[in-house]
């Protein structure tokens, strides 16, 4: 039977665990909101830990969501690889997007990757010329 109580002027929020001399004790509620620890007579070491179940549940849901996302991405990659292998194409032979460029009423089909490289090269030549003119 306790001879005294340790009353803490903090709200008794769920998730707190109390240890007196290394042994877990139950936390009581005083005046409807405060944390209260029953203590026997004498000097004691009191340790309070905040270890809510909601944190563990959130951690489990987060890790589960990340694993589900990674598994989904992996299955999509495997499926695409199987489709390419089934069609006889190698991964390095995948078709790149095509761009149709129309000049003077004549349309010409270009590989999008090659066209983008060409445009970047033209842009760098153009900007270099502008810098030379400013100097």
Q: In this structure, is residue 58 part of a structural domain?
A: no
pLDDT at residue 62 in the model: 96
CA distance 98 to 109: 7
Given 53, 69, 85, the domain boundary residue is 53
Q: In this structure, is residue 86 part of a structural domain?
A: no
Q: In this structure, is residue 116 part of a structural domain?
A: yes
pLDDT at residue 119 in the model: 65
Structure tokens that stand for 64 in this block: 């589960």
Q: In this structure, is residue 67 part of a structural domain?
A: no
Q: In this structure, is residue 31 part of a structural domain?
A: yes
Q: What is the dihedral of CA 114, 117, 121, 123, to 10 degrees?
A: 110
pLDDT at residue 97 in the model: 54
- Residues of the domain holding 19: 4-53
pLDDT at 115 exceeding the cut of 90:
no
pLDDT at residue 27 in the model: 94
Per-residue pLDDT of 38-79, as tens digits, reads 998 889 999 999 989 999 999 999 999 999 999 888 887 777
For residue 17, what are the contacts with CB-CB under 8 A and spacing of at least 6? 24, 27, 48, 49, 50, 51
User: Are residues 7 and 34 in contact, defined by beta-carbon separation less than 8 angstroms?
Assistant: yes
The predicted model scores a pTM of 0.48
pLDDT at residue 74 in the model: 84
> What is each CA distance from 74 to 65, 67, 69, 71, 84, in whole angstroms?
14, 10, 9, 5, 15
Number of structural domains (the chain) is 2
pLDDT at 88 exceeding the cut of 70:
no
pLDDT at 1 exceeding the cut of 80:
no
Q: How many residues are there in the chain?
A: 135
Q: In this structure, is residue 77 part of a structural domain?
A: no
More confident residue, 54 or 128: 54
pLDDT at 125 exceeding the cut of 90:
no
């Amino acid at each position: 039977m306790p001879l005294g109580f340790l009353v803490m002027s903090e709200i008794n929020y769920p998730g707190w665990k109390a240890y007196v001399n290394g042994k877990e004790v139950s936390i009581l509620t005083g005046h409807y909101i405060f944390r209260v620890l029953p203590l026997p007579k004498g000097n004691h070491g009191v340790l309070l830990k905040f270890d809510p179940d909601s944190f563990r549940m959130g951690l489990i849901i987060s890790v589960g969501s990340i694993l589900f996302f990674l598994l989904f991405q992996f299955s999509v990659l495997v499926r695409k690889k199987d489709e390419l292998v089934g069609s006889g194409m190698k991964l390095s032979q995948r078709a790149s997007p095509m761009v149709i460029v129309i000049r003077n009423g004549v349309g010409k089909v270009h590989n999008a990757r090659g066209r983008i490289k060409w445009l970047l090269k033209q842009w760098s030549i153009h900007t270099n010329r502008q810098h030379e003119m400013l100097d």
